[in-house]
Copies of this chain bind each other. A is one copy, B any other.
Amino acid sequence: MKRLRGFASDNNASVHPDIIQALINANEGHAVGYGDDVVTERTRLLFKEVFGESVEPFFVYNGTGANVISIQALARTFNAVVCARTAHINVDECGAPEKISGCKLLPIDTDNGKITVEQIGAFMHGFGFEHHAQPKLISITQVTELGTVYTIEEIRKIADYVHGLGLYLHMDGARLANAAAALECSLADVSFNAGVDVLSFGGTKNGLMFGEAVVFANAELAENVKYIRKQSTQLHSKLRYTSAQFEALLSNELWLKNAKHANEMAQLLAGEVWEIEGIEITQPVDSNGVFAIVPKAIIPKLQEEFFFYVWDEARSEVRWMTSFDTTKEDIQEFVAVLKKAMAE
C-alpha cells in the first residue's frame, strides 16, 4: 500500500495551505487580464524588495517556460548555451531549449552537477568564427539536479568570468529557496548580488500549485520579454492567480520556512541512512535531496510503499527528495521500511 507522501520529487508534493488561501483571497470580482491587475503589481514590487530594486520579474507557468524565455531574451539562434550535462535544460525538457530558442547547448560533464570557470573556459573559443555557434549564455542550476549547492563565491567567480567575456549568466533556480536556506543567505545574495543576469525562480517545487518567475537583473535585459513570454505560450490570462501565489510565497518568509523544512527532512533522512551498512550516499546532502547507492533487490520493496525514482539504473543509485510537507514520521516510517528491507 502506497503511503500518502513519498520521496519521488518535491513537485509530487501538495500545495501549501497559505498558497491555497492566497488563491481564495485573490478570487474576488473581475481583474484585467494578462497582468494589468493590482495583485500582480504588488507582487512585482515585492520582487524588487526581495531581489533588488532594479530587477524585473515576469510570471509564467513553469520552469521549462521560464528557461526558454531566459534563453530567448539573452541569446540569438546562432548562440550557444553552456551548461552541466545534468542540467534540466539539457536532459529534462525534451529539447525545448533547442527547438524554441534555436540555440545549441554545450554540455559539461561534472561529478556533482556544478560547473567551474575552468570547465566553462574550455568552450570559450571560436568567437567570431561563423562556423561555430557563438557562446553567449552560461546556465547554472541552483540547487543543482544532484542536490548540491553553489556557494556565493563560486557563483560570483563564474559571473565575473562570464561578464569579462561579454556573456550572460543564467540561473535555473527551480530550487533557489532551498539553496538560500542552506547557505543561510537572502534570495538576492545567492542570485543577483552574486552576478546573475537572469533567474528562473521556482515556486512549484516549494509549495505553489503552479508558477515560476523569470527575473531579469534590469529592465534593459528584459526589453523584449513580454513578447517572448506571449509567443512562448507562457502568458497566463488570469495572471492574478499566479502572482497571488508568489506574493504569499515571498510574504512572512513562507519560501524560507518551506525550504528550510524540506532541507531539514533531507538531513534527517541522510543521518539515518548514513548509519545503515550497505548503503552509500553519493552526493553531499546540501539541500533537499539524498542520492544513494542501494542494493538493487530492495528497490521494488521500498517502492511498494514509497514512490521514488531510480537515478542511475546501472549504478543502482536512487534519489530521495523531501519537500515542505514531508513529516518526521514520513522519514521514520521510510527508514523503518528501509532497514527491514536491508535486513532481509
**A binding-site residues for B, Cβ under 8 Å:** 4-6, 8-9, 11-15, 20, 23-24, 27-34, 61-65, 68, 72, 76-80, 91-96, 98-100, 102-105, 107, 125, 130-134, 204, 209-210, 224, 226-238, 241, 307, 313, 325
Contacts and interface: CB of A to CB of B under 8 A. Distances in A.
B94 A98 contact: no
Contacts of A99: 77-78, 98, 102-103, 231
B11 A238 contact: yes
A30 B8 contact: yes
B230 A130 contact: yes
Contacts of A133: 94-95, 231
Contacts of A62: 61, 233, 235-237
Contacts of A80: 95
A233 B65 contact: yes
18 contacts: A11-B238, A14-B30, A20-B24, A34-B130, A65-B233, A77-B231, A93-B231, A94-B134, A94-B227, A98-B105, A99-B102, A99-B103, A100-B231, A125-B313, A130-B226, A204-B238, A209-B238, A210-B241
Contacts of A72: 77
A95 B77 contact: yes
Nearest to A68: B233
The 4 closest A-B pairs by CB, nearest first: A4-B29, A78-B227, A95-B133, A99-B102
Nearest to A91: B132
B33 A11 contact: yes
Contacts of A325: 30
A61 B79 CA distance: 23
A27 B61 CA distance: 19
B11 A237 contact: yes
B95 A104 contact: yes
Contact of A31 (B12, B104, B241): B12
Max chain B CB contacts within 10 Å: which of A14, A103, A204?
A14
Contacts of A14: 27-30
Contacts of A5: 29-30
